[in-house]
Amino acid sequence: MPRSTRTAILIATIFSLLPLSLFAQNQDNDNSAIIRYDAIHHPVIGKQGMVSSQRMLSSQIGAEILSKGGNAVDAAVATGISLAVTLPRAGNLGGGGFMLVHLAETGETIAIDYREMAPRAASRDMFLDDEGNVDNQKARFSYLSSGVPGTVAGLAYALEKYGTMSWEDVVKPAIRLAEEGILVSYDLADNLKKRRGRLTAYPATADIFYKEDGSNYEVGETFVQSDLANTLKRLAKYGPKEFYTGKTAELIANDMKAKGGLITLDDLANYKVAEREVVSTHYRGYHIVSMPPTSSGGVHIAQMLNMLEHYPIKENGFGSARNIHLMTEVMKLAYADRSEYLGDPDHFDVPIKGLTDKAYAKKLTNKISVDKATPSSQIKPGNPAPYESPDTTHFSVMDKFGNAVSNTYTLNFSYGSGVVIPGTGILMNNEMDDFSSKPGVPNGFGLIGGEANAIQPTKRPLSSMTPTMILKDNKPYVVLGSPGGSRIITTVLQTVVNIIDHDMGIAQAIHAPRIHHQWLPDRLEMEPGFSPDTLKILESYGQSIKMSSTMGSVQAIMYHNGYFYGVSDPRRPGAGTVPAK
């Protein structure tokens, strides 16, 4: 059956499950309406829970877990493991990430940091050449570029502590997909062709992603990942520790040693997950919770919202030149602070309370002119009181019990370092490039870092990943996050503002065009969709505009009046939101 037909049947099935009353609501925009007729963008709707991810197959797996009585954590772990099969460029076993878990029983929101760690043999200047310049090939596309993976440990930690199902049960669906194969989509076929040069640099990688004769996989063919299936079977049989102390660990360590990498058996055996306190702020009556360092996202979401609350964002209107200008200036100030103060809190004293303090935000607004851009060269990191690749991926889960998960994880660049460990099917990350290899020199996303994010053994590199929740009455209202490298933070910020300030439905909030500024380089990036008149006014303010490709891929779920509203960003193909039955 053609994929388009299957998709049409799925959509028809979803809506056939909804009561007729949904389609007979008063067309006025009232708070009790289930469908908003004032919007042209509409979400998937369900009552038993929901999963939103960048691959429909993985969302279906998570939704099936919910339908069987599993909770949001069970579904999230199953979704995360399956994405290693269905979205190999970002879903992973060989990377790391962050998870927020909201627990209905206690009302707590937990932050789980399973970011990669630098091997013990890593050193401060390991990516500098003889002249003291950063060797980008070594930092991004070599065996040296991989940190110790945290994904398996992080997902297992969440499942053991907050889930209800067995590890074996949540791994099984991914084994089936890897063993039986997935249909090659236009997206996957095109992506593999574009990345061919990098993915054929290592024989084990070429063996996985191209046919025996070296030719490309074509649309509609079946892509089987036998080595990955065998690795998943070992993990299912022996448990997640197998990745860090068993045969899989030996395969990783032996290949690293043979090819000049740094990760050893001791590094793998000593990997640790960190549970941290969430970063939070209150914004116009809502409680925003997000990820603390080693993610920079939560700190700067809070910081930027604290600044924006001093301006009439709603009255200015979405897409107005005044609003875009104000948001741009706020972004510049936050990213300047990121360059100075953000790093691994286990190795550096990050002033989280100072950066997220409302009085500090108010002080920063004194630097903003409402109709004149401040050149980035004139913006320096502030003085708070002492208190990631476009191909990251995010998924959101909410269950009928009131639990919620927001998870973002990655290999860093698309397909990470491009290294597949022979016999495992596992792509390795290139997260070592997320450290500041040399203070003041941009990383692969153009982000500037300093000593706070310098390379150090067992340290976690700074990330832009920003899993986030909006709470109302201490219950999850919206769960969201996005891939997008350095643009993740601004993508999440604008989605939150669209929902709270502009009263957009979840679909419209995600579909609306976006902007981005990260202090350096000094340019305002804008997606297509804004008025030419708006661009002219922004230029008159002194903003340097660069029209951009699309930003992010938000996967979000809203819970309102007993219904779950889920949306997968249309900016990237293949994503899907599926309700539990």
Residues annotated within the binding site are 115, 410-412, 434, 463-464, 485
DSSP H helices in 68-150: 72-86, 136-140
Which residue numbers belong to the known binding site for L-glutamate? 115, 410-412, 434, 463-464, 485
What is the SS3 assignment for 390? Answer: coil
Question: From the candidates 109, 392, 466, 491, which is the catalytic residue?
Answer: 392
495 vs 219: CA distance, rounded Å: 33
Strand-strand pairing, 286-290 and 555-560 = unpaired
What is d(CA 320, CA 193) in angstroms, rounded to the nearest whole number? 40
Residues with Cβ within 8 Å of residue 119, at least 6 apart in sequence: 147, 148, 262, 263, 264, 267, 457
The full DSSP string for 224-246 is --HHHHHHHHHHHHH-TTHHHHS
Q: What CA–CA distances, in Å, run from 366 to 333, 361, 374?
A: 11, 9, 12
Q: Which two tokens stand for residue 6?
A: 């299957």
Distance CA 467, CA 291 (A): 6
Is the separation of the CB atoms in 384 and 354 below 8 Å?
yes
Question: What is the CB-side half-sphere exposure of residue 184 using CA atoms within 13 A?
Answer: 19
Q: Which one, of 408, 411, 435, lies nearest residue 347 by Cα? A: 435
DSSP state of 497: H
CB-neighbour burial class of residue 463 (10 A; exposed 0-12, middle 13-18, buried 19+):
buried
Taking the mean position of all CA atoms in its chain, how far away is CA 81?
15
106 in active site: no
**Residues with catalytic function:** 392
